[in-house]
Amino acid sequence: MSGLEIERKFLVHKAGRPYKEQAYASSRIRQGYICSERGRTVRVRIRDGRGFLTIKGPSGEAGMTRYEFEKEITLDEATHLMELCEPGLIDKTRYLVKSGQHVFEVDEFYGENDGLVMAEVELQSEDEPFTKPDFIACEVTGDRRFYNSSLRKMPFTLWRDALPEEFQ
């Protein structure tokens, strides 16, 4: 897949974690970054025994839109490329939750990002309407602290106390 990726990101309320019960699928994801400079990232991901290589360009002004190229690679290739990654891997479980006409991807992070739960929804346009599930809290689209490539460098556990208690 390649083209423009348009997505919005949200923090998830800490109480109850209802997204788990609402999810129709889940998968464990491990990912690393070969390059995570501002404006361009090269990511290696292993998800459900499959490998992926993803290249992303800079985000637009609102932080919602950017170019994305993704290609499936073999698990062996992904495993070897993980060895080339910058320090700090991302480890998370992704839950898929349908809401209206959209699917929200809810990521529950582990390790140095333990306690962080974010949801994102992909859109066809920046102004496309969507129905938020009840577990969605504040929007963090465009806040670089919540980019996975940033969480690798500055993990959530180092700055989570700066957020309201309901998100810690």
| Residues catalogued as catalytic | 33
Residues 6+ positions from 120 with CB-CB distance below 8 Å: 7, 8, 9, 10, 104, 105, 107
Question: How far apart, in Å, do the first and last CA atoms of the chain sit?
Answer: 34
Residues 14/166, Cβ–Cβ less than 8 Å: yes
Write down the number of H helices and E strands in the chain: 3, 9
1: which DSSP letter? -
Residue 86 one-letter amino acid? E
